[in-house]
Every structure is written in structure tokens, then in C-alpha cells.
Structure 1
Amino acid sequence: MDQDSGERRRTRTLLGATAVAGALLLAAVTPSPYVVEQPGPVVDTLGEAEDDGKSVPVISIEGAETYPTSGSLNLLTVSILGNREQPRSWLALVPALLDPTQRIAPVDEFFPEGVTVEERDTENAVLMDSSQMQAAAAAFRALGQEVRTVLTVAGVAESGPAAGELEAGDRIVSLNGRKLADFTELRRGVAASEDRAAVRLGIERDGEPQELELTPRAPREGEEPMLGITVAARYELPAEVDFSLTRIGGPSAGLVFALAVLDRLTPGELLEGHTVSGTGTITDAGEVGAIGGLAQKMWAADRAGSELFLMPLANCADLPDRRPPGLRIAPVATLDEAVQAIEAVNAGEEPRGVERCAAAS
């Protein structure tokens, strides 16, 4: 009897182990509809980067006097593991469940249906180029120098309001009969249009002026109306500014780029040897906008030994409950506020922190 009981236990154990092994094998080979978002590379914009095997300054300025500085001013990135073409398996998602620095997200959030990885990379490259020039323009304007703006259409969404009307390369000149000074005016004017109310967009195509009537539409409920175009802003800057990063895309480094250019163009040291990391889009007028991957960038800032983490005030709703202990966080809405936060740290004071989020809500 005891021998039979022992044999049955061994059989049940073997069957259980086989079932678990089978389930793990199935989970390891079955694609999931999710990706994993995790902290990505950190780049010191005041330092150097690799370009064709050579070390070159991340930011170089010609045609204006520049000044030495110290400290680290880090831009932060996120890495996305998985896509539609190379999906993550269900088993590969398990570590992210246990790691607060990672997030599991639907693949549609980063790779919408019909958008290839190459197309997404191309769009992010355009956004990065645009953000760099907006950052440079914001820095020069913060110094009181004149910057002229040329807006052009870089891309048109196939299902957007501008499909079949606007073309890549069109120069955008006016909105509702009023000349546009910068991208901010265009965005605000389009966003202010009432539901189903058309706007008049003045353009130049092959040197010929035209006026088109378009009806902005919100991509999703609760979002501001848009024309469904990607706009590239070219600026006539007082000096030439070159950015050497080629493997990072998207617009979220704009704030840090602007701070780095501003630091290089002004006497004295903005950081005074401190390590500051930040994220946020920026307009050519110095307004800081929301980004994605806030939690992952926060953890990346902590790993980089940051004494201050600058984040967009517009991302307050995305602040995670679990944050790196001891990390000083300063939500900002403008380039000026970011400079003030850094200056407070330099003076041994506390900048306005996450309590701003409660006030903003």
C-alpha cells in the first residue's frame, strides 16, 4: 500500500511538472499583443557622442561666442522591447511585472495598425530634428535674439483632414488670413477651432501662393483638433547649431537641448558642476510640453545619479506612486522655470517640486 501511494505521488508530481513545463514552453513561443517599455540610454548633452567611430560634441555652435561649463545635463530615453514584426512572448513579459522601472503596454500604443517599424523610426527622426531646431530657437529667443521661422509640411496622415490637400514640402504661411510667426501660433490657432469649423490655411507650393480650407479633427475624444500633418520648422538662427545624435528619435529631448544651448551661449556655468536630467518637448517660444515614458525616464535619471530631475508640468497626472527615493523632482512649464529650478539647486535651495502637481490639478 505504501509503495502504491508513493508511486501515485511520483506520477502526480511528474504530470504536474510536465504540465508546468508545457505551459512555460507555450508561453515562451506564443506572441503577445504587448511590448515592454523600459529605461533607455542616457546622454550628456554637454559631453560627447560617438559618430562614425569618432567622439564629437553632442552640441556644437559656430558663429557665436561660447563659454566653458561643467556638470552633466542628461537627456533621457526609453527603450521599447517588441513590435508588430517581432512580438514579445507572454513569458518575456513576466520580468516587467516585477520591475517598477518597466511597463507593459499594448503594441498599438507604439506601433499602430498599418505603421511599420521603419515608418515609426522615420517619423521619430523627423520629430527629433524638429525638436532640436525648436530648442535652439527657444534658447536664442530666451537671450533676446531675433529668430525667424519657416514652417513646412513634412508629412501628411493618410486619413487626416489634410489628406489630398497638403503635400510634403508645402510652406505654411498663414492661418485664417493672419501670418504665422511660429509653430506655436499654428498649433494654438488650429486647436482653437470649434468642432467642424473649417480654417483657412495659406501656403506656398513651388513658389505659388494658395489658400486651402481644412476642417481640423481630434484624433481621439478629449484631444485637441489637428490637421493630421507633421510640421517641420526651419529657423533662421543668429548662429549655426549642430546636434550629433543620430540614433535617438522623438521630440522629448527638446527641453534639455534648449538648456544645453543656453548654457553654451551664456557666461558662467548653468549647472555649477551638478548632474541634472530632464525630459519634455519644447516650442520655439520656450513652452515645455508632455512626453511619454515618464516613469521610465525618472528611473533612468536616478540611475545616472541626478541631483535634479526636470519633468513637464503637463505630465503631473502620469507621476507614478512608486518613485526613486531621494530623487529631487521639479515639474516645469517653461524654459525659464527649468533655469530657475537649476539655479535653486545651485543656491542650496529646494526648487518647486511635485507639490505643484496638486496645485495644478
Structure 2
Amino acid sequence: MSEVDGRRRRGRGRLWPAIAAVAILILLAAVTPSPYAIERPGPVVDAFGSIEVGSETETPVIRIDGAETYPTSGELNVLSVSISGTPDRPVDWLSLVGTLFDPTRTIVPLDALFPEGLTSEQRTEQNASMMSASQLSATAAALKRLGEPVEPRLRVVGVDEAGPSAGVLREGDAIRRADDEPVTGLEELREVLGRAAPGRAVRLEIMRDDAIEQVDVEPETGADGTRLLGVTVTEDYSSPFDVELELDEIGGPSAGLVFALAIYDLLTPGELTGGAVVSGTGTIDADGAVGAIGGLTQKIWGASLAGTEVMLMPIENCADVPDRLPDGMRIVPVGTLDEAIAALETIEGGEDPAGLERCAADSATGSD
């Protein structure tokens, strides 16, 4: 054996332990859970389209009964974020490595998504509840923009069979007045109940099956002294016609802006999107104010992957716009439903609405 061959063998002999050590580290990284989750672009759903319910049936995402609707074209997409990693099924350290080279994915601490004591099932339930509330606010905002009468109200969604309202109130009842005082929100109802003397019934005016009724309920006193009816209520809005929204696969409140725009577009002549592919995200309240959302980076990339030409985002999220952005998509910050409608009308007119330069302008003036 020559001296050169000897050096080669000694070199290979020193290399194998290093390779083995690296292999062991990779194996450990692949099986060791991390305290992080990974956010990535989630499903993109056209609010003008349909979704599958069950194995075969398809239903429109938005269904409006009792009012004339108008045809529209283009797309108005709801954006979402998918999460890999839960307290029950954490992602391993090796899975995090790929996010370092992928601008569409972000590493997030698990406790930022799942505060202590919150399970993945509870988070799913919270997101579903927020989605339902968002749909109600979106409908109210769109109808107000159209000048339709919209009245806030409290809707009974659950009755404790062992509580004081059992056999008196039903699911679906709308509470209009309590002791002859109008109640449109939960705080107003609590104030009236708090003034009710123990042992005295409270007279409630309710709307049931399109008829107004009067019922009496004697509140019970909770462990903390709070006066209770033994019902679960949600803040709802009356409207001159029925609007139903179907989107079970996406939770949270961030679809509110798109829902409001889609309802408004369907109820008005013409095509708000001008046939373009538009995506959007943002919470909305009944007065049309657009609020901040989470997962902006993933939603921007999800919109781009869906072929979006214009993406609407909350102006409150300007500080969250990532440095790296996809090409060929105009991002338009808005603060209200009116601004979002104006932006789309600008597109329909063949012009470009104000884009991310609005963020720079707001930053320069120090406004929020």
C-alpha cells in the first residue's frame, strides 16, 4: 500500500464518525418535538362560488333569500392560514428547517397560538364562534351601506334546562326589551337584570316566529352575585331579508371584509370586481370599520398562489407587511368597507387604487 493510499484511508476513517454524528443529530431533530408551530397559506375560497357539504352536495357560499340579486363575475376570495403543530401534536425540529428557505411559511411559538390550558379543540370552537360573529357583522355592514334597516338584537342560542328560562324561552327567540327597556346588547341586558330584586320576575319582550310576545322570567343569582336567565345569547342583527353564509372549513373573524363586499356586490347592479380576481382579509364591525388580522404573510402568498390580481388588507396591518412580496399582485390597504368598495370601483374603471404607498404615507404622518 502506498503512502497516498494510507492517507486516503485515514481520511475516510476520520470522516465516518463525523457523518454518523450528523446522521444522529438529524434523527434526533426528526423525532424531538419543538415548542413551535408552522403557519402556511391555507384554503382560498371564492365567496361567489360554492363549497362541498357532505360527500356530494354543493351549496353556495352566500345565499340571499327575499331580495333581488345581480349576476357578477371574477372572484372575491376569502384567505386563510393553515397551522402545523398543536400542543397535542407538536412539529419536530427538523420540520422547522424548511421554513428558513420558504417565504410562504413562518415559525410561531406554540403558546402564541395556544395559551396555557387551551386545547386544539377549544381553539377550533373559538374560531368557529368568531367566524359566526364575523358573518353577522359583515351582513349588517353591507346592509347598512345599502341603506337597509338593520337593528341590533340579542338572539337566544341555548337554554339551560335546569335554569329559570326553561320552558319559557326557546332557541331562536330574539330579546327586544327587558322591564320595558330596549336591549340591543348583552351589557344592556345585564344592567337590567342586575337591578331586578331577588324573587321578582323580569318581563321580557321577545320576537318568536315573527310575532312579538311577553314572557316573565325570575333570574337566578350566580356564585359571583350576577343575575342570570340561564340562557346563552349572541348579538344578532335583524334585516329585511335572509342572508346565509356557509364556510365551515375556515374559522376566525378575518373573512368579514370579503363577506361584506360579496353581499354588497350581489345586492347591487354591476360587477364590483370588474371581472378581476380579488382576494381580501380583514375583520369588520357592523358599522363597516375594518380591523387587523393575523397571518398576513401567509395570506399574501396564498392570494398570489390563487392568481390574485388585487388583494385588500387592513391598513392596521401595514407594520406586518413582509419585506419579500410576490410579483404581479397589487396590495391595497383599507380602513373601512367604503374604502374597499371605492378601491374596487377604481379597478372596475380601469385604474389602479392606492397601494402600499398608503402605509408609507400613514407612517410618515404618524397616524394609526
Normalised TM-score (structure 1): 0.80
1:114 has 2:117 as partner = yes
For residue 8 of structure 1, what is the aligned residue in structure 2? 10
SS of 1:273's partner is coil
1:42 has 2:44 as partner = yes
User: Is the 1:49–1:245 contact (alpha carbons within 8 Å) kept by the matching residues of 2?
Assistant: yes
Residue pairs, 1:194-205, within 5 angstroms: 201-202=191-192
For residue 268 of structure 2, what is the aligned residue in structure 1? 266
Residue pairs, 1:195-234, within 5 angstroms: 201-202=191-192, 207=217, 232-234=234-236
Q: 1:23 to 1:291 in 2, by over 3 A?
A: same
For residue 250 of structure 1, what is the aligned residue in structure 2? 252
User: Is the 1:51–1:244 contact (alpha carbons within 8 Å) kept by the matching residues of 2?
Assistant: no
Q: Answer with 1 or 2: which has the greater Rg.
A: 2
Residue pairs, 1:335-354, within 5 angstroms: 335-354=337-356
Q: CA RMSD in A?
A: 2.9
Structure 2 distance, partners of 1:138, 1:309, is 20
For residue 97 of structure 1, what is the aligned residue in structure 2? 100
1:61 has 2:64 as partner = yes
Q: 1:231 to 1:349 in 2, by over 3 A?
A: farther
User: Is the 1:149–1:234 contact (alpha carbons within 8 Å) kept by the matching residues of 2?
Assistant: yes
Among 122, 125, 129, the residue aligned to 2:128: 125
4+ residue stretches of structure 1 with deviation over 6 A? 152-155, 171-174, 209-212
SS of 2:294's partner is coil
For residue 366 of structure 2, what is the aligned residue in structure 1? none
SS of 1:286's partner is coil
SS of 2:43's partner is strand
Q: 1:233 to 1:48 in 2, by over 3 A?
A: same
Q: How many angstroms does 1:349 deviate by?
A: 1.2
**Which amino acid letter does the alignment assign opposite residue 41 of structure 2?**
P
Among 327, 330, 345, the residue aligned to 2:329: 327
Structure 1 distance, partners of 2:316, 2:157, is 26
Q: How many angstroms does 1:325 deviate by?
A: 1.9
**Which amino acid letter does the alignment assign opposite residue 349 of structure 2?**
A
Structure 1 distance, partners of 2:41, 2:100, is 15
Structure 1 distance, partners of 2:122, 2:318, is 30
**Which amino acid letter does the alignment assign opposite residue 120 of structure 2?**
V
What is the number of equivalent residue pairs in this alignment? 315
For residue 88 of structure 1, what is the aligned residue in structure 2? 91
For residue 142 of structure 1, what is the aligned residue in structure 2? 145
Q: How many angstroms does 1:307 deviate by?
A: 1.4
SS of 1:242's partner is strand
Q: How many angstroms does 1:267 deviate by?
A: 1.4
User: Is the 2:154–2:185 contact (alpha carbons within 8 Å) kept by the matching residues of 1?
Assistant: yes
Q: How many angstroms does 1:180 deviate by?
A: 6.9
Structure 2 distance, partners of 1:25, 1:250, is 36
SS of 1:49's partner is strand
Q: How many angstroms does 1:271 deviate by?
A: 1.4
C-alpha distance after superposition, 1:238-258 (max 9, x if no partner): 111111211211000000001
Structure 1 distance, partners of 2:153, 2:302, is 35
User: Is the 2:184–2:235 contact (alpha carbons within 8 Å) kept by the matching residues of 1?
Assistant: no
For residue 290 of structure 1, what is the aligned residue in structure 2? 292
C-alpha distance after superposition, 1:165-215 (max 9, x if no partner): xxxx9x9999xxx977679xx8xx9xxxxxxxxxx8555898568999x9x
User: Is the 1:202–1:211 contact (alpha carbons within 8 Å) kept by the matching residues of 2?
Assistant: no
Q: 1:173 to 1:317 in 2, by over 3 A?
A: farther
Q: 1:154 to 1:318 in 2, by over 3 A?
A: farther
Q: 1:179 to 1:329 in 2, by over 3 A?
A: farther
Among 268, 291, 302, the residue aligned to 1:300: 302
Structure 1 distance, partners of 2:124, 2:148, is 33
Residue pairs, 1:136-175, within 5 angstroms: 136-151=139-154
Among 348, 354, 357, the residue aligned to 1:355: 357
SS of 1:41's partner is coil
Q: 1:67 to 1:33 in 2, by over 3 A?
A: same
What percentage of residue pairs aligned between the two structures are identical?
53
1:51 has 2:53 as partner = yes
Structure 2 distance, partners of 1:299, 1:144, is 36
Q: How many angstroms does 1:270 deviate by?
A: 1.2
Q: How many angstroms does 1:326 deviate by?
A: 2.6
For residue 315 of structure 1, what is the aligned residue in structure 2? 317
